[in-house]
Amino acid sequence: MSEVREIQEKHIDEVTVRFAGDSGDGMQLTGTQFSDTTAVVGNDLSTLPDYPAEIRAPAGTLYGVSGFQLHFSSSDIHTPGDVPDVLVAMNPAALKKNLSELKRSGLIIVNSDSFDKKNLKLAEYESNPLEDGSLSGFDVMDIPITTLTYAALEDTELSQKEKSRCKNFFALGLMYWLYNRPMEPTIDWIEKKFKNKPQFIDANEKALKAGYNFGDITERFATRYTIEPAKLKPGIYRNISGNEATALGFVVAAEKAGLNLFLGSYPITPASDILQYLSNYKEFGVKTFQAEDEIAGIASAIGAAFGGNLAITTTSGPGLALKTEATGLAVMTELPLVIVNVQRGGPSTGLPTKTEQADLLQSMYGRNGESPVAIVAAATPSDCFNMAIEASRLALTYMSPVILLTDGYLANGSEPWNIPAVDSIPEIPVKFHTEVENYHSYSRDEKLARPWAIPGTKGLEHRIGGLEKANITGDVSYDPDNHFEMVKLREEKIQKMKDSIPDLEVEGDKDAEILVIGWGGTYGAIKEAVIHTRKKGYKVAQAHFKFIHPFPKNTEEVLRKYKHVLLPEINLGQLAKVLKSEFLIPIEQFNVVRGLPFRVGDIENKIIDVLGGSNE
């Protein structure tokens, strides 16, 4: 029996932890479990999974390192954290790859068993960093996690290899102890996950508990931390990732519109999750068609839209490029369609698992002809839910394709979500046209939407297609004046959407000298930077675009109010280009394209820089 020792309990406000290991070490799982438990405990949190494009790169190598960063706090937070306070490194490669980003004097927990000759060499270490003093500035806990896991699983019937695979649960248990989290949510999860493999339930639980108990008994940890629940707005919460929120948003939109949901999609990182989630919701009548390619994904969705479904297609950058021509067909046939682009690093295959915002111009202009589509963008992981509904609403109300832009960071990142009451989400009124009298396939209502007359409706047999249509009758027309009219009508219809989208909201100082604008997944980083600079005494305001085509009605008015307008984007200035050309307003750009979300500190510095430097 170990003696009861003195452990200092320390209350802290926030902490950023990064789990890192081989792609096969289960770091994404460990991170997700830690996040879910942290959410249940009531902290605010934000996560950033960072994994390589290779599924199982050779073990121990630098390029095979997979990471999961998590920022949690007793108050409101908006980003996964700039620099981790704690690094859990399961092998030398994970340490090497992540050390430079760790906070000075931060805590490093390493699996010392993995620091053998072979792994050190694979990580390109010339000497063992645990011994050569190179980590002297940090608080290093070298723990033989593999050995301790084996010991804990001594009396199980698992093979050595299977035992070894439980070591991430040991690490997770230890972290639960260190940050005072309960083990029950993970134990529940393990029991569900391995329902049919009781030996794994037993082993993983043992490893988890062994890690937790190790924290309790080892002399090494003198301090244990508590992070009080955050004072979030009252409500029922769950932790949610952007991709799951997107999927749920569409299920809700379809129900609210009284339509069946059809998804035509081809698997692509980082969008595949949406297809996966939606494939589960059969009890909602959701039809998911895993198409033979990206083009068939959108083409099938167009077919389904013609048939009267809420039709969507999901993809990422290269897939959007492939869907280009068919998107034009949806523009010409004026069918409701939502195209989700979970943006990733480009061009070409680019950085499949990393985030970027560089598909805005592709979405705006990347088609032949004058081919306007509506564009909306989600701001946070949980906002993907709202924007999926908004995108559906615009598509159905205006009979138009709508592109919903999210990104790899939003898609895989997660945050607590204040779940809206189902009744509070407005219905989306949809009426199929059935009147035979005076029916014209390209007549328009006051919103400029054409009637949606679906096959099966007697007397309304009509033909649509990619050839130019005569206004009102919908017959094929090559008439020059008609074409010009239709080109204008199609754009005008998109502009009409202004009537039903919310104004651009401004947060922050009323008398701000600088307005920081943004769009999409940069919301959290900008928000935190604005909060920090305001705390330092600068007069700063923020406005974030969720509707980009068309822009909200008050856009120009808002932009003209401020001496400086700063626009950080993870591209070379795509929204800046659009805004400048539309409003002829000078915009300060801040562009960083590293495949990663913005660092709050960088935006902060830029704001101060634009305002003429430090006021201290």
Partner 1 sequence: MSNTEINVEKLTAKDFSSGIDVRWCPGCGDYSILAQVQRTLPNIENIEKEKVVWVSGIGCSSRFPYYMGTYGFHGIHGRAPAIATGLKIARPDLTVWVATGDGDLLSIGGNHFIHACRKNIDLKIILFNNQIYGLTKGQYSPTSEKGKVTKTSPYGSVDYPFNATSLALGSNASFVARTIDREPKHMAEMIDRAAAHKGLAFIEVYQNCPIFNDGTFSELTEKDTKEDNVVILEHGKPMVFGKNKEKGIKLEGFHPVIVDLNDPKNSIDDCLVHNEKDDSLIRGFILAHLTDSPDMPTPIGVFRQRIKPTYDEAMVEQIDQVTKKKGKGSLEKLLFTQNTWEVK
Does residue 397 contact residue 500 with C-beta atoms inside 8 Å? yes
CB nearer partner 1, residue 37 or residue 571:
37
| CB nearer to partner 1: pick between 216 and 228 | 228
Distance (Å) of CA 581 to CA 64, 560, 563, 575, 586: 43, 14, 19, 10, 10
- Tell which one of 87, 123, 203, 329 touches partner 1 (CB under 8 A): 329
Residue 449: strand, helix, or coil? coil
Q: State in angstroms the smallest separation of the CB of 460 from partner 1.
A: 7
> Exactly one of 462, 534, 536, 553 binds partner 1 (CB under 8 A); which one?
462
255 lies in the site for partner 1, by CB under 8 A: yes
Q: Give the nearer residue to partner 1 in terms of CB position, either 22 or 294.
A: 294
Comparison of 48 and 251: residue with beta carbon closer to partner 1: 251
Q: What is residue 16's three-state secondary structure?
A: strand
Is residue 613 a contact point for partner 1 (CB under 8 A)? Answer: no
Does 456 help bind partner 1 (rule: CB under 8 A)?
Answer: yes
Indicate whether 6 belongs to the interface with partner 1 (CB under 8 A): no
DSSP-derived pairing of the beta strands 261-265 and 287-290: parallel
CA 164 to chain centroid: 32
Window 22-41: residues binding partner 1 (CB under 8 A): 36, 39-40
Each residue 206-245 as x (binds partner 1 by CB under 8 A) or -, in order, gives: -----------------------x-xxxxxxxxx------
Give the shortest CB-497-to-partner 1 separation in angstroms.
25
Residues 63-122 within binding reach of partner 1 (CB under 8 A): none
CB of 418 to partner 1, least distance (A): 8
The DSSP symbol for 126 reads: S
Q: Which of 4, 55, 422, 584 binds partner 1 (CB under 8 A)?
A: 422
Q: Which of residues 545-564 bind partner 1 (CB under 8 A)?
A: none
Distance CA(512)–CA(419), nearest Å, equals 33
Tell me the pairing of strands 139-143 and 514-519: unpaired
How far, in Å, CA of 264 to CA of 247, rounded? 13
| Closer of 109 and 311 to partner 1 (Cβ) | 311
Question: Residue 557 is encoded by which pair of tokens?
Answer: 């008015």
Selected binder of partner 1 within 307, 350, 573, 601 (CB under 8 A): 307
Query: Site for partner 1 (CB under 8 A): which residue of 29, 141, 419, 592?
Result: 419
- Number of C-alpha atoms within 13 angstroms, CB side, residue 358? 22
Nearer to partner 1, 98 or 265 (CB): 265
Euclidean distance between CA atoms 156 and 27, whole angstroms: 23
Alpha carbons 179 and 74: distance in angstroms, whole number? 13
Task: Determine, following the binding rule CB under 8 A, whether residue 483 of this chain makes contact with partner 1.
Answer: no
Amino acid letter for position 251:
V
Residue with tokens 């692509």: 268
Terminal-to-terminal C-alpha distance of the chain: 56
> Between residue 266 and residue 295, which ones bind partner 1 under the rule CB under 8 A?
281-285, 287, 289, 291-293, 295
